Amino acid sequence: MYQLHIIPALKDNYIWLLENANKQVVIIDPGEAAPVLSYLKKYHLAPLAILLTHHHIDHTGGVTELKAAYPDIEAFGPSEINLQINHLENINELLIADFRYEVIPVPGHTLGHLAYYCHPYLFCGDTLFSAGCGRIFEGDHKQMLSSLNKLKQLPDDTLICAGHEYTLTNLDFTQMLVPADQVIREYYDFTCRKKITLPSILTKEKQINLFLRCEEKNLQNKFNCNNELELFAFFRSQKDIF
């Protein structure tokens, strides 16, 4: 059984560590090195590898310093990342010691964005957030919706390990759109008492994340949209100016 660690970094980023029984860890999206180096030393953890979801600096900024401190660790990520790492192209599965990661292409936030699933943990970078999803910088609405629907097919017990602490802001936006939704209101009351709201669980996200509910006809009718993609584009455009 694995143990999950979360390290707050930068303004609102999270760096994730997944530990096996031998106190070996895989580091996901180290936006900076210092807090990771301190954490590894404090808890006597041995880094095996680094996984990167996409090329933005707040997810990759610590790679070079970590590799300098631990020359034997390997780093993996999409080919859009301009660093000396192992680029993952047409690879569906990645084995690192006793870790088995499913590699899932999720274009939208960036074109090469990857997610990594190691049951029950999903490391999804800036594609899926609790109660929200990432901005569409390089892809289009159709790509992003397809990526989210791909993640939505994972088991209900999947733990969402996203790249940022955006939950309360996302829930503020959601409540503005659907103020009568009791489940969302209760989840807001629950999370507003927490400093760290992640990981969340997929079964709850299917209830409180409007970006995962665009196929619902009642929502399409409420916002005068004709289909799932039209509603997703409407939600995303409104969130961009919220």
- The answer to whether 44 is a known ligand-binding residue is no
- The answer to whether 113 is a known ligand-binding residue is no
- The answer to whether 157 is a known ligand-binding residue is no
Output helix, strand, coil percentages for the chain, rounded to the nearest 5.
35, 25, 40
- The answer to whether 126 is a known ligand-binding residue is yes
- The answer to whether 29 is a known ligand-binding residue is no
- The answer to whether 141 is a known ligand-binding residue is no
Q: What span, in angstroms and rounded, lies between the C-alpha atoms of 73 and 81? A: 17
Going by C-beta distance under 8 Å and a sequence separation of 6 or more, which residues neighbour residue 123?
16, 28, 29, 51, 53, 115, 116, 117, 161
The radius of gyration computed from the CA coordinates of the chain, to the nearest angstrom, equals: 18
DSSP helix/strand/coil, 132: strand
Locate all alpha helices (DSSP H) within 21-166, ordered by sequence.
Answer: 34-42, 57-60, 63-69, 141-152
- The answer to whether 156 is a known ligand-binding residue is no
DSSP helix/strand/coil, 153: coil
Residue ranges of the annotated binding site are 54, 56, 58-59, 109, 126, 164
Residue ranges of the annotated binding site for Zn(2+) are 54, 56, 58-59, 109, 126, 164
